[in-house]
């Protein structure tokens, strides 16, 4: 069976733009292997909203949206973004048969989880699937949104929220059936890991931070990275999904890094140890205990050798002991791929194929 | 929807025995989360064949089979094991609706891939699914058996062939859609890794090997481990499945370890490097290049820090760069779990649920 998925892009920054070029690059695979065609039916950002009733090829969207912003006079849009999502979902016949997907990539308020949470809720309650790279929804409202998705018979997927496109949530959900995750520890924030590594080599805090900002990796507000908020949000998302936690980033014990971290990092190195900002959580009686803290690790620890932009997560499981998954490269393509892999989970659900492109027996 | 899976156990050694106790331990989860009940309908080993027309609970099989071997006089069984598999498949009504699974755990001839290949073939061609921990079928005959499975509308799954229950084949198939694996490198043989690590610390080759034999981890014929055959078979299986290779363990360039490896391992250590037996393969023009060789690795390499019984595989991908997956604990439970996870892939296919226990929409 083949199908056309319709995408409503909510947010259209670097990640979304790379996502549409990736869709274009993967067009042959999508069609041949998965029987899927992709049409973009709308783009909604702070700067303007473009609705495309007949749909557009992914390859044509960026130019079309740029042209739209440049030529159409700004006018007062009365609807909120959730209202717009609801309107589009109600109008498109694709919604009924589960072929409308909201692709959520807006700028996130890590401390509140908004506006992403409202966007996810509006999508699900109006019959659209959601794929997002935002941590907020899973970090603040996972169980509510997951229930909303189940009730609607739609998917709420967010592989890109942690470690870009390297499978974490999908790893546990799709390849570790019947396994209970007891806890995890990991290095999940790239900016702080890069800064600590550079400081070990003698670089100053401010310089290393600036390099991450120039590279477009650090959050616009650096405190979100260096004060541990990003790591805390990822910890909450992981704990809520993998450990059945009911926590938020605010309830994660949190430590950050600063200029004074340099001394500790260099001292640790002289003792053949490495200082890392480690995210941890574990199931405890009646809930989950979660924290982000600087830890000195033995050099042989899989987390100790993560240089610069590498991330890793060690899962502590009941049946398999410890499993670690390591991301050794990161960037826009990896983040955009997270959206693609989630989209394929939805698409193969529609066409009745498996993720390796076969018919479900 | 709920279903009863019927299992024919071919081979009944340590792994199969742990598998049936694991089925018993997980009985509640299987029933509640996956809607699955398990019945054992036969056990076939070199020592005897027990056919159970009404099926038996997993918990009762070991005692029943032991009793059977002790009390039933040995008689000449005329049928070969493939013939027996065919007979059982033809007689059981479960076969028709895809509920018969052959669980293949016989002792493998790593150099030939038999008798597992014949068992897998007999199962698939008679309408049974197959789950196996044997490397042979994927290392020697992956494409033929995979085609047979597709033609029969049945599954041929072998997660346990490499790194026990840590997902490798399932990781790529279920969580990396549209990704092309360009190559891999890994430490995949536990016995040689343990011996090298012990030799670094001053232990003699023979002593370290003996420890692995006592622990039941080394192959009965130690040359299969120390001459690199086990690693070569795993390399061939990985290359055939992940890189579309058409190779066998014989065509994998192969190096082993011996008493003289101790000097190299200790010398490397003085230079802050680690000696490891590394399995590698990569796509090359017109095929796959694959080898198993001793390599000196930088201490920061994710493969360098694998102590004793840890294994790891680094996948080189087109869209995600490098991803590593590390197994930090191994043992019978992990191997038995590989069978369970493959069984759940089959079971959820029958009941129309997802691996996280929901209804497929």
Q: What is the DSSP letter of A179?
A: P
Instruction: Answer whether residue A221 shows pLDDT above 60.
Output: yes
Task: Among B177, B327, B330, select the one facing A344 at the smallest CB separation.
Answer: B177
Record the pTM: 0.95
Task: Among B34, B327, B333, select the one facing A323 at the smallest CB separation.
Answer: B327
CA distance A150 to chain B (A): 9
Provide the edge-to-edge strand list for the sheet that holds B36-45.
Answer: B48-56, B36-45, B3-10, B100-104, B129-132, B156-157
Pick the closest to residue B47 from B90, B84, B77, B15 (CA basis).
B77
- C-alpha A124/C-alpha A105 separation (Å) is 16
Instruction: Answer whether residue A27 shows pLDDT above 90.
Output: yes
Percent of chain A with pLDDT over 90: 87
First to last CA, chain A: 13
- C-alpha B129/C-alpha B220 separation (Å) is 29
Q: How many residues does chain B have?
A: 361
| pLDDT (mean) for A20-41 | 97
3-class state of residue B187 by DSSP: strand
| pLDDT (mean) for B252-280 | 96
Confidence of residue B312 (pLDDT cuts 50, 70, 90): very high
Contact A313/B328 with Cβ under 8 angstroms? no
- C-alpha B312/C-alpha A328 separation (Å) is 14
Query: Which helix (DSSP H) or strand (DSSP E) does residue A297 occupy?
Result: strand A287-298
Instruction: Answer whether residue B272 shows pLDDT above 60.
Output: yes
Beta-bridged to residue A235, according to DSSP, are: none
| pLDDT (mean) for A254-276 | 96
Q: Which of A320, A335, A339, A360 to mutate to test the interface with B (most CBs of B within 10 A)?
A: A320
| pLDDT (mean) for A178-206 | 96
In this complex, do B325 and A325 lie within 8 Å of one another by their Cβ atoms?
A: yes
Instruction: Answer whether residue A53 shows pLDDT above 60.
Output: yes
- C-alpha A245/C-alpha B197 separation (Å) is 39
Confidence of residue B180 (pLDDT cuts 50, 70, 90): very high
B212-260 tens-digit pLDDT: 998 888 877 899 999 999 999 999 999 999 999 999 999 999 999 999 9
- C-alpha B158/C-alpha B172 separation (Å) is 13
| pLDDT (mean) for B184-207 | 96
In this complex, do B173 and A334 lie within 8 Å of one another by their Cβ atoms?
A: no
Query: Which helix (DSSP H) or strand (DSSP E) does residue A196 occupy?
Result: helix A190-200
Q: What is the DSSP letter of B59?
A: H
- C-alpha B165/C-alpha B156 separation (Å) is 16
In this complex, do B326 and A302 lie within 8 Å of one another by their Cβ atoms?
A: yes
Q: Give the nearest chain A residue to B316 (CA atoms).
A: A328
CA distance B74 to chain A (A): 38
Task: Among A150, A154, A349, select the one facing B360 at the smallest CB separation.
Answer: A349
CA distance B3 to chain A (A): 15
Buried b (16+ CB within 10 A) or exposed e, B29-63: bbeebbbbbbbbbbbbbeebbbebeebbebeebbe
Residue with more model confidence, A1 or B187: B187
Pick the closest to residue B44 from B133, B119, B125 (CA basis).
B119
How many of the other CB atoms lie within 10 Å of CB of A31?
A: 13
Number of separate helices (H) and strands (E) present in chain A: 13, 12
- C-alpha A93/C-alpha A83 separation (Å) is 18
Confidence of residue B199 (pLDDT cuts 50, 70, 90): very high
* ipTM at complex level: 0.95
Task: Among B34, B175, B324, select the one facing A326 at the smallest CB separation.
Answer: B324
- C-alpha A200/C-alpha A264 separation (Å) is 9
3-class state of residue A68 by DSSP: helix
- C-alpha A108/C-alpha A136 separation (Å) is 7
Round the average pLDDT of chain B to a whole number and report it.
95
pLDDT score of A75: 66
B206-217 tens-digit pLDDT: 999 999 998 888
- C-alpha A140/C-alpha A113 separation (Å) is 6
CA distance A7 to chain B (A): 19
Confidence of residue A21 (pLDDT cuts 50, 70, 90): very high
B238 contact partners, CB below 8 Å, separation of at least 6? B162, B168, B184, B186, B279, B281, B313
Confidence of residue B358 (pLDDT cuts 50, 70, 90): confident
Q: Which of B25, B177, B336 to mutate to test the interface with A (most CBs of A within 10 A)?
A: B177
Instruction: Answer whether residue B204 shows pLDDT above 90.
Output: yes
Percent of chain A with pLDDT over 70: 99
In this complex, do B305 and A305 lie within 8 Å of one another by their Cβ atoms?
A: yes
pLDDT score of A76: 67
CB pairs under 8 A between A and B: 162
Q: Give the nearest chain B residue to A325 (CA atoms).
A: B325
Percent of chain B with pLDDT over 90: 87
CA distances from B219 to A118, A223, A303, B277 (A): 57, 54, 32, 17
In this complex, do A166 and B323 lie within 8 Å of one another by their Cβ atoms?
A: yes
Task: Among B300, B329, B344, select the one facing A305 at the smallest CB separation.
Answer: B300
φ, ψ dihedrals at A55, nearest 5°: 80, 155
* Widest Cα–Cα separation across chain B: 64
Instruction: Answer whether residue A197 shows pLDDT above 90.
Output: yes
In this complex, do B178 and A30 lie within 8 Å of one another by their Cβ atoms?
A: yes
| pLDDT (mean) for A179-193 | 97
Number of separate helices (H) and strands (E) present in chain B: 14, 12
Buried b (16+ CB within 10 A) or exposed e, A180-216: ebebbbbbbbbbbbbbbbbbbeebebeebbebbeeee
Instruction: Answer whether residue B181 shows pLDDT above 80.
Output: yes
B100-157 tens-digit pLDDT: 999 999 999 988 999 999 999 999 999 999 999 999 999 999 999 999 999 999 999 9
Contact A319/B334 with Cβ under 8 angstroms? yes
In this complex, do A337 and B319 lie within 8 Å of one another by their Cβ atoms?
A: yes
pLDDT score of B224: 93
Instruction: Answer whether residue B73 shows pLDDT above 80.
Output: no
φ, ψ dihedrals at B299, nearest 5°: -60, -25
In this complex, do A319 and B167 lie within 8 Å of one another by their Cβ atoms?
A: no
Q: Give the nearest chain A residue to B320 (CA atoms).
A: A334
DSSP character string of B101-114: EEEE-PPPBTTTTB
Instruction: Answer whether residue A218 shows pLDDT above 90.
Output: no
Round the average pLDDT of chain A to a whole number and report it.
95
Q: Which residues in chain A have their CB less than 8 angstroms from residue B174's CB?
A: 170, 174-175, 355
A60-116 tens-digit pLDDT: 999 999 999 999 876 667 899 999 999 999 999 999 999 999 999 999 998 899 999
CA distances from B79 to A307, B82, B107, B112, B352 (A): 59, 8, 19, 22, 36
| pLDDT (mean) for B86-91 | 97
In this complex, do A173 and B30 lie within 8 Å of one another by their Cβ atoms?
A: no
Instruction: Answer whether residue A138 shows pLDDT above 80.
Output: yes
Instruction: Answer whether residue A11 shows pLDDT above 90.
Output: yes
Task: Among B179, B320, B361, select the one facing A329 at the smallest CB separation.
Answer: B320
pLDDT score of A361: 53
Pick the closest to residue B102 from B79, B119, B77 (CA basis).
B119
Q: How many residues does chain A have?
A: 361
pLDDT score of B361: 53
In this complex, do A178 and B307 lie within 8 Å of one another by their Cβ atoms?
A: no
Q: Which of B127, B175, B200, B330 to mutate to test the interface with A (most CBs of A within 10 A)?
A: B175
């Amino acid at each position: 069976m083949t199908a056309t998925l319709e995408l409503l892009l909510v947010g259209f920054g670097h990640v979304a733009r790379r996502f549409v070029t990736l869709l274009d690059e993967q067009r042959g695979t999508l069609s041949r292997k998965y029987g899927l065609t992709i049409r973009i039916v709308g783009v909604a950002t702070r700067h303007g909203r473009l609705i495309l009733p007949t749909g557009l090829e992914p390859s044509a969207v960026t130019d079309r949206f740029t042209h739209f912003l440049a030529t159409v006079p700004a006018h007062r849009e009365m609807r909120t973004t959730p209202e717009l999502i609801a309107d589009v979902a109600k109008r498109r016949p694709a919604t009924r048969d589960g072929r409308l997907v909201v692709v959520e990539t807006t700028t996130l308020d890590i401390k509140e989880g908004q506006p992403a949470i409202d966007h996810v809720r509006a999508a699900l309650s109006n019959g659209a699937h959601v794929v997002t790279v935002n941590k907020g929804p899973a970090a603040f409202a996972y169980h509510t949104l997951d229930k909303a998705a189940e009730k609607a018979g739609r998917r709420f997927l967010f592989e890109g929220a942690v470690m870009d496109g390297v499978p974490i949530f999908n790893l546990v959900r799709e390849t570790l059936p019947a396994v209970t995750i007891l806890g995890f520890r990991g290095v999940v924030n790239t900016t702080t890991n890069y800064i600590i590594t550079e400081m070990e080599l003698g670089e100053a805090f401010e310089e290393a931070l600036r390099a991450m900002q120039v590279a477009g990796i650090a959050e616009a507000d650096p405190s979100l990275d260096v004060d541990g908020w990003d790591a805390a949000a990822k910890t909450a998302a992981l704990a809520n999904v993998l450990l059945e936690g009911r926590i938020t980033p605010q309830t994660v014990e949190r430590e950050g890094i600063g200029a004074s971290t340099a001394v500790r990092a260099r001292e640790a190195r002289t003792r053949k140890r490495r200082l890392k900002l480690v995210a941890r959580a574990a199931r405890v009686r009646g809930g989950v205990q979660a924290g982000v803290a600087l830890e000195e690790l033995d050099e042989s620890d899989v987390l100790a050798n993560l240089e610069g932009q590498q991330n890793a997560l060690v899962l502590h499981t009941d049946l398999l002991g410890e499993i670690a998954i390591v991301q050794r490269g990161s960037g826009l393509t990896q983040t955009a791929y997270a959206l693609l892999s989630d989209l394929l989970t939805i698409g193969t659900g529609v066409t009745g194929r498996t993720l390796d492109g076969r018919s479900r027996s």
